[in-house]
Each structure stands twice: as structure tokens, then as C-alpha cells.
Amino acid sequence: MAPSTPSRSPARWLAALLATSALLPAASAQYYKVDTPDEIRESARSLAYDMMLFYQGNKTGEIPGILPGPPTEHKGDYYWWEGGAMMGTFVDYWHLTGDTSYNAVVTEGMLHQVGPNADYMPPNHTASLGNDDQGFWGMSAMLAAENKFPNPPDDKPQWLALAQAVFHTQAADDRHDETCNGGLRWQVPPTNAGYNYKNTIANSCFFNLGARLARYTSNQTYADWAEKTFTWLWDVNYIDHADWRVYDGGHVEHNCTDINKAQFSYNAALLLHGSAFMYNYTNGSEIWKSRIDNLLTGIMRDFFPEKIAFELPCEGRQGACTADMLSFKGYVHRWLAVVTQIAPYTASKILPVLRISAKAAANQCTGGETGRRCGFYWSGGVYVDPAVDKTSGAGEAMSALAAVSSLLIEEAGPPATNATGISKGDNNAGSRSRGPSQPLAPITTGDRAGAAILTMLLLGGVIGTWSWMSLGD
């Protein structure tokens, strides 16, 4: 039985929270303004500075590329993948604002985590690797190629090649089997808890990377994989055929029919983002337009009920959101903004909502000693200390930065392609790690590539009570 749906009236439950929480400071004056491009850039600059304070990887003795963690080792709140998500957020920040202040830190962090085979499978994380974890790092590399982020030194792996490597390792035969008629498993090592789970986020990352690589390189093989993966998600009913709600996953021992109907914003938004790339690649295919339209309708209905980002499965209950979920709003804002560039007909529906949501995010960033620290609960218009959800606040800060900086999307260039990009691809990327596979169609030396996402698993729910289990990376 699926868990009951939380209340969709953010203002009502938040009022109760504010009345009872002892964690809230006195109200502070609004710090951020986002009404003009200059105000947006100035606000984004401060938000980026404050976000970088959570990062320790640029300090002596610390590990580049990761946020403090993982929780399983009592080192902090964040798993490996979220460092990759942070790097992508700063790649977008540079692209949208032109501020180069953090480019060196981002380059160092992204290159430090590539692993010995340059495919984002570093030894420290391979034993606990999820396809979604690797996918998030691959997506950030793809973004660097699409945004024409400054190339690494010639003797280092290049952004496009890194994205290709992630995709190629995930396309290999050892990542696929016949259970549930296909699809990627959540975890990579068979010994990991969750290996028996095939979920949307792992497959959405793979789909998203394939779609973006297809558009960048014009190589049909990537598009074929993207189509195949989306079709699998549809056929296994992880995408509801009636209302296009996107569900979390199912177990192979039940042929993936025991569908966990938890809805996470990043699942739906990632599918929408990839569908827009396929729409663009196919020169406006009606099939992909229909998928865009239906997914977008569902996202606006479920995750922007008051035109402000709202994380449906957890936001209605104090302390219910995990550290993973506290970062989802930022990805959704970033991905929706890009959809307006490559499927421009969506702009009139998406951009006004992103403006309202970003302004709500900025308005509640009034906490801490600086009077500008950000929380997660945007709809109430009042800062709620991240201690409510037992985190340091990095995910909350990253989401606010992404929402505000994405307001500049109309001034930014669209994602690059093979014809306009500057990153070098590698036909053999990922070959040193991947298992046996059917050979991909030849990929030209000019190819550019990409990848995609992360995951967490919601286990169970009885009579409206949700039991969360964050299994980590």
C-alpha cells in the first residue's frame, strides 16, 4: 500500500512549525534582492560565497571534491555524490554570472574524484557505488562540456571524455540484466544493500546522459539508449500512465511490480530535462513534445503547488527530509531553466514559476549571524534553521544559490554541441573499467558526451507514516 500523500498546503503546516519551533531566531530583515539582473548577480555572488563556506576540500589536508561526510563514518552529513552535484551547481553559477572566483576549486574537485580509470569510480567509493552516484558526477562533467567551462590541462581527463566514460561504463553488459525486462539496478556491486532494487533515479541519470550525448555528438547510438531507457521506465510503470506521476522503483524479486510510489522532484525533473534534449535532437518530435508536456504538467502540479518549489514526500513534516532531499530544489530549478533553452516553447510556462519560487527562496535567507543564511522551507517566507532537519545546511544553501542564479538563464547561451563546444571526447572512455558489452556504434573524434544522477530509497509507509532509510552511496 502506498503511503498517503502529505498535505499540499505549505503555508498551513509551516505556520504550525513556526509557532512551536524553538530553533528559529528572531526575524531578520530581507538581505537578498532578485528583481533586476544586477540584483540577481549580486545576490548570487553572496550566496555562492556562503555556499563555499560549507566546502572544506580546498583546505590543507582535506579531500577535494566532496562535502563533509559521509554520515556512515561520522564525518559529516553528505555522501560522495552530493559533492558532484555541488560542482555542477558552481559550473552553472559561472556560466550564468560570469564570476570565475571558484573555477579553480571546481576544476580541482572534479578532477580529484575521477579515479584511476577516469570514469568517476574512485577506489574509496567503488565498493559502495550506486549508478546514480556515478551518474551525478558524470552529469556535472557533461554540464562542463555543454557550458564550455574552461578545459582541464591537456594531461588530465577532459570534461566530455569523463561524461562519455560514465555513460559507457553504465551501458556495459555487466550493468544490465533481464530481471524486470531490463533497466539498471540502483547499486553497482552485487554485495551492496539495494542491489536488488531497480529505481528511477539510476535509470533517469543514464537516460539523461544518453539524451545529452546524442544532442552534443549527433551520434544515434546515444539516442537509441535514451529511447530504450525511457521506454523501459514507462513499460515498468515507474511513470504513471494516467497522470504522469514519477515513482521511485521496485525490487527484482517481485519483477519490479512492487512499485514504491514515493515521488521525488529530481526524478521527474531529470526525465523532463532529458526529454527536452531528445526533443531538440529530434528537431521537435511530437513524441518527445508530448512527454515534455505531460511531465511538466505533473511537476507543476506536484512540486510547485503554490508556484514555489515544494518537496512533496517530506516537506510537510518537520524533520522528515534527509540531507539528500534538502538539495533537490536546486537541481529542479537548474534543469527546468535549461529546458526553456532547448525546448523554447516551454519558457512561458516555466520562467514565471521559477521567478516566484526563486524570490521565495531568497526571501527566507535571513538566518544566522550574517542575517542571510538559507533554509529549506521557502513557502512560509520565514527562515527555518537547518537544525530542524539535522543537517549543516549545505543542501539548503546550494538550492537557494541554484534558484537565484538560474534567473539569469535568458542571458546565457544554450548548451553547446559538437559544432560549438570546446571539450574533447574519447571514443574509448570508460573502457578500462567496463565489463563486456555490445560495441557502441563508432563515435567520431569530435564527440562530446554526458551523464546523469543520484538516488536514495524510500522504504515502506504504513497508514500515512513514512519510514525513510538513507542507504548512502
- Asked, for residue 23, whether it belongs to a domain, the answer is no
Residue 78 contacts residue 324 (beta carbons within 8 Å): no
5 domain residue, yes or no: no
Distance CA 121, CA 115 (A): 5
Residue pair 101/48 in contact (Cβ under 8 Å)? The answer is yes
SS3 at position 466 = strand
Q: Give the DSSP per-residue string, 263-292.
A: --HHHHHHHHHHHHHHHHHTTS-HHHHHHH
Whether 29 maps to a domain, the answer reads no
Specify if 430 maps to a domain. Answer: yes
CATH number at residue 192: 1.50.10.20
Q: The domain containing residue 441 runs over which residues?
A: 10-17+38-469
pTM over 0.75: yes
State which amino acid sits at residue 100.
T
Query: Is 27 within a domain?
Result: no
User: What domain count does the chain have?
Assistant: 1
Digit-by-digit pLDDT tens for the chain (473 residues) are 333 333 334 444 444 444 334 344 434 457 899 999 999 999 999 999 999 999 999 999 999 999 999 999 999 999 999 999 999 999 999 999 999 999 999 999 999 999 999 999 999 898 889 999 999 999 999 999 999 999 999 999 999 999 999 999 999 999 999 999 999 999 999 999 999 999 999 999 999 999 999 999 999 999 999 999 999 999 999 999 999 999 999 999 999 999 999 999 999 999 999 999 999 999 999 999 999 999 999 999 999 999 999 999 999 887 899 999 999 999 999 999 999 999 999 999 999 999 999 999 999 999 999 999 999 999 999 999 999 999 999 999 999 999 999 999 999 999 999 999 999 998 788 887 765 444 455 444 333 233 333 333 333 332 232 333 233 33
* Burial group, residue 59, by CB count within 10 angstroms (0-12, 13-18, 19+): exposed
Continuous H helices in 309-381: 328-342, 347-363
Domain membership flag for residue 33: no
Cα angle for residues 129, 131, 133 (degrees, 5° grid): 65
2, part of any domain:
no
Sign of the torsion angle spanned by Cα atoms 209, 336, 87, 262: negative
Q: How far is C-alpha 447 from the geometric centre of its chain's CA atoms?
A: 24
Q: How far apart are CA 198 and CA 12, in angstroms?
A: 36
Is 25 a domain residue?
no
